[in-house]
A and B are shown apart, each in its own frame.
Chain A
Amino acid sequence: MKYIIKYSPIISLFTLLFAIGIHTPQFLQISTFIIIAEDAATLFIMSTGIFFVIMLGGIDLSVQSIASLCSVILALCLPQFGYYSFFIAILIGSIFGLISGYFHVTLKIPSFIATLATGGIAASLSLVITNASSIQILQKEKHYISWITETSFYIPNEILVSFSIFILCWFLINYTKFGRYVTSIGAGEAVAWTSGIDVKLNKYFALILSASLAAISGIVLSSRMSAGSPTLANEFLLPAIAAVIIGGTALTGGVGSIQRTLIGVLIISVLRIGMTFIGINIFAQQLVFGCMLIIAVALTIDRSKIPIVK
């Protein structure tokens, strides 16, 4: 039973692929897989950020608003600043991470509320600066974003971007002090604090990392759509959190891995693309994600040992 739960994410990924493949055989094609990977790329970048915060034992609800805001900022800055606008967008994203960090760590507000508030600020800020309309990236500015939209070696560059982020974050969580500290804070914050770890600093880092990765996912998304919009990344939050949890990272923190998050993201993307192949109403997607999330959370944590659920 223990092993079934451990390997259930990867089992369900292949089961899904087969199930959809039997229903519509044209689903199992290289071109479909590239579509899935493209779809997964942005979601994965966002999920990776949330993964670090969940490993800490917190949650980051601000990512979708930060991603939208950064897409807007990128679209606004491109005519004037060119390549620098990517840095500006990431910088502003990380500032929002810093703000959530200040709320959560210094003011000691639970991460749920702190990031919800930051997300609200980011969302309304992007609505205000755009007057609630989307901003097109013009044809003459397209060359700036070509490094994301083009393909190299038959693989879309956005997949390569998210793959390099995968490598980077895998290294970060497994082989650096920061990664080790994040894991130990999630597994036992009091012990980590008593062992002389700077818990506050690491929480700040995790929230800033999460927001920066959200900004990058906003950049990739807006390059793909060649537009920035204050509602661009809406409907991303639930799948992003669901991906982390479905992959088997415990919501209580301390247990999980980046590979599992990747599998979680792939499950979500296969579901998303698969549902359009089968012909399920696109509005029913969130319903499926919601159900998946509940099942995954119920499976990953042994609830018999938890007396109180808040």
Chain B
Amino acid sequence: MNSWITNWNKIKIKVKQIIKKQPGKDAESQWTKCSCQEIIYKEDLQNYIKKKVVLEVKNLSLNNSFKNISFSLHEGEVLGFAGVIGSGIDQLTRVLYGFLKPTTGKIYINEHLVDLNNPKDAVKNGIGYLPKDRRSEGLIQFMSLSNNLTLTNLNILKKYGIISRSEEINLTNEWVKKLSIKANNVDILCNYLSGGNQQKVVLAKWMHAGVSIMIMDHPTRGIDVGAKKEVYSVIRDLTNSGISIIIVSDTIEETIGLSNNIIVLKDGELQQIVKSNKGNKPLPIEILKYMV
């Protein structure tokens, strides 16, 4: 038993060293996240909820997945979705982006009733989607960075009806600089970018398209600690500029750290909307008790 404990300690030390060597200088804080939560999730930059409702969902149901979900999303709010696998949060996010059609219920965007039949409708209504699976839904792997980035809004590149390549390069360079994407040139295939940089390209793709609501499905999945922090600060920048965010996250701590309100689903039913304001964050256990 003793030898086991010493071995375990050795492993722990090694893990710490490995984390230190990853990009992101004070990654140590991630390791002891309970004490440093506010720094990691940039809580000091968190917005207070504004009054304006941008998205309202009323009695939304989908067969076998969830029923009678109602909530509203305010301007500049980060709304966290929490729930175990099978609780219906995956389906709920996909309904909100038009992948799935709800069986009953209504969705209002800026107080207008909308019909989201496919992602195209969602984009038209100013919703952006950061997918869980970057490789298959986020970026076209064997297409250049610039082409991927401009895919969501080619209209701004048009001059006399022609897509202007120089405009495209300018726009890409601007966003590469803004989000500090590490890429040798704008024509590099996205396949050669690291996970974190790919995620930043997906973010940029929606940011220049001028969305007002972002649905982020596991935004920090499979990216390194340094890139995670940058994603968090992008989230704060977005909300400060008035964009509302719906977030489904890998860890409950991340959801708590980032969100203003947390919707907890269990077996397809809305259990509770937990407030998670700046300086008054709930403990994970308070969310977990509704989840299971």
Contact = CB atoms under 8 A, between A and B. Distances in A.
Contacts of B124: 196
Contacts of A194: 119, 129, 131, 137-138
B140 A192 contact: yes
B140 A184 contact: yes
A184 B143 CA distance: 8
Nearest to B133: A190
B152 interface: yes
A190 B99 CA distance: 11
Interface in A165-214: 174-177, 180, 183-184, 187-188, 190-198
B140 A187 contact: yes
Interface-central residue, A184, A190, A191, A193, by most chain B CB under 10 Å: A191
Contact of B119 (A177, A196, A254): A196
Contacts of B163: 174-177, 180
A190 B137 contact: yes
A197 B98 CA distance: 13
Interface in B127-156: 129, 131, 136-143, 147-148, 151-152, 154-155
Contacts of A177: 154-155, 158, 163
B266 interface: no
Contacts of A254: 140, 142-143
B143 A195 contact: no
Interface-central residue, A176, A180, A188, by most chain B CB under 10 Å: A188
B176 interface: no
Give the interface size bracket for B toward A.
20 to 34
Give the interface size bracket for A toward B.
20 to 34
Nearest to A171: B162
B205 interface: yes
A195 B151 contact: yes
Q: Which secondary structure dominates where chain A touches chain B?
A: helix
B96 interface: no
A255 B72 CA distance: 44
A295 to B, nearest CB: 23
B33 interface: no
Given A176-B162, A177-B163, A180-B163, A195 B147 contact: no
A198 B136 CA distance: 18
Contact of A196 (B141, B152, B161): B152
A196 B154 contact: no
Contacts of B139: 188, 191
Contacts of A195: 119, 123, 151-152, 205
Contacts of B137: 190-191, 194
B152 A188 contact: no
B122 interface: yes
A191 B119 contact: no
Given A190-B137, A192-B140, A194-B119, A180 B151 contact: yes
A113 B279 CA distance: 61
B142 A191 contact: no
A213 to B, nearest CB: 21
Contacts of A197: 120, 151
3 tightest A-B CB contacts, nearest first: A196-B123, A188-B140, A187-B140
Given A191-B139, A195-B119, 11 more contacts: A176-B162, A183-B143, A187-B141, A188-B141, A188-B142, A194-B137, A194-B138, A195-B123, A195-B152, A196-B123, A198-B120
20 contacts: A174-B163, A176-B163, A177-B158, A177-B163, A180-B163, A183-B143, A187-B140, A187-B141, A188-B136, A188-B141, A188-B142, A188-B143, A190-B137, A191-B139, A194-B131, A194-B137, A194-B138, A195-B119, A195-B123, A195-B151
